[in-house]
Amino acid sequence: MVFRTLHELIAIDTQNPGADYTRIQDYLRTALKSRGARVQIVAGNVLGTWGDKPKLMFNAHMDTVRASGWTSDPLKARVQSERTYGLGACDTKGSIAAILEAVASAHVHRGKKNIDGLANSAVLFSMDEECGSPTGAASFFKTALGKSLARNLKAAVVMEPTQNRVIVRHPGYVQLDLQFKAPSGHSSSHRPSAASQAIDALYAIKRHAAWNVNVAGLSAATVGANIRSPSCLTNISIRSFQSPQRVIAAVKSHLPPNATLSVKQAEGPLDNKKPFVPSRLNVPYWTDGATFAAAGVNAVVYGPGSIGQAHQPDEFVTHASLQKAVLFLEKKMKTVGAFES
């Protein structure tokens, strides 16, 4: 059934930016209700709960990146060599399908065994993970309901394609626009142009050993090679285990007085020193695991598929990886979410 669910999810277009969540919200509401959940839409996110005070939460995002360069219809699942191809197959509709499969089997077994894994469980299908908006899981935890749930949660599995490995650490993500300005004039003077100031600042920023810096763009108002450029804009992102405040303060220290800095995105790191699943693994990319950590929840990141396939044409998930994820989630419900009678 997990494969059929995945095919149905892939067919629902949630390409972001610009995603329309109506259809997937309806689909997930119906799917969760049929599994005995109480379903609420909270700030656009789909929340399913079993019991009043969930201890365990599974999370996956509903949106995908926009498809480009596919060799087949990205919204039509295709099965080949024990793999399912389709937009979001690994990032993260495969995870949503795994969650629905795990809670379905726990629902079927409710009352038949002494262990009720669903008694203290919740799922959150969040929006806008792929476009860096302050919506999604972050806005969920700002609501009164989100805050009260976070206080009781003992554990959360935030699902991203990790090849079924449990990840407990990753850097934060800070995205900045830096604008440099300088008086224009003849290039024979030794005063630095705006472009030259930008290059000096970027050089200093890139020398921070604890930072992974990406200079995404650099554009200067060029009048002529013999004239100093009056303005220069650069867009950068910095991944680091330092707090965003600390990163931003350090960047500012490298800027000349007339430069301006605007913060486009500022997310903290995930650094779970006491994860509920033993692991020390880290990844270089950012996830909503950090959003859960910021809300005070013991979060790990886990999921089927590989980040190597995510955001790529002909994205796929292997069936072995998907089935392994279902078993992982079922086990967590029995050990963390369980109510034993």
Q: Is the CB of 289 or the CB of 337 nearer to Zn ion?
A: 289
Stretch in the footprint of Zn ion (CB under 5 A) among 17-25, 51-59, 74-82, 83-91 = 83-91
Residue nearest to Zn ion (CB): 91
Q: Please, what is the minimum distance in Å from the beta carbon of residue 275 to Zn ion?
A: 22
Helical (H) or strand (E) element with 248: helix 244-253
Q: Is the dihedral of CA 129, 94, 272, 253 positive or negative?
A: negative
Place of tokens 């921070």: 208
Number of residues that bind Zn ion (CB under 5 A): 2
Q: Interface with Zn ion includes 288 (CB under 5 A)? A: no
Q: Is the CB of 63 or the CB of 101 nearer to Zn ion?
A: 63
Q: Is the CB of 217 or the CB of 308 nearer to Zn ion?
A: 308
Q: Is the CB of 310 or the CB of 333 nearer to Zn ion?
A: 310
How far apart are alpha carbons 133 and 131 in whole angstroms? 6
Q: Map residues 133-152 to x or -, x wherever contact with Zn ion holds by CB under 5 A.
A: --------------------
Q: Map residues 304-323 to x or -, x wherever contact with Zn ion holds by CB under 5 A.
A: ------x-------------
Q: Is the CB of 91 or the CB of 128 nearer to Zn ion?
A: 91
* Cβ pair 11, 75 in contact under 8 A: yes
How far apart are alpha carbons 14 and 67 in whole angstroms? 10
How far apart are alpha carbons 162 and 176 in whole angstroms? 27
- Residue 20 neighbours by CB distance under 10 Å: 12
Q: Interface with Zn ion includes 91 (CB under 5 A)? A: yes
* Cβ pair 265, 150 in contact under 8 A: no
* Cβ pair 213, 206 in contact under 8 A: yes
Q: Please, what is the minimum distance in Å from the beta carbon of residue 298 to Zn ion?
A: 23
Strands 155-159 and 56-61: parallel
Q: Interface with Zn ion includes 330 (CB under 5 A)? A: no
Stretch in the footprint of Zn ion (CB under 5 A) among 91-99, 101-109, 234-242, 251-259 = 91-99
* Cβ pair 176, 261 in contact under 8 A: yes
Q: Please, what is the minimum distance in Å from the beta carbon of residue 9 to Zn ion?
A: 15
Place of tokens 């086990």: 331
Q: Is the CB of 131 or the CB of 221 nearer to Zn ion?
A: 131
How far apart are alpha carbons 121 and 37 in whole angstroms? 9
Stretch in the footprint of Zn ion (CB under 5 A) among 34-42, 218-226, 303-311, 330-338 = 303-311
Q: Which positions from 205 through 264 interact with Zn ion, judged by CB under 5 A? A: none
Give the rounded distance of the alpha carbon of 219 from its chain centre.
Answer: 29
Q: Please, what is the minimum distance in Å from the beta carbon of residue 72 to Zn ion?
A: 20
Strand partners for 49: 38, 122
Q: Please, what is the minimum distance in Å from the beta carbon of residue 91 to Zn ion?
A: 4
Q: Interface with Zn ion includes 63 (CB under 5 A)? A: no
- What does the binding site for Zn ion look like in residue numbers (CB under 5 A)? 91, 310
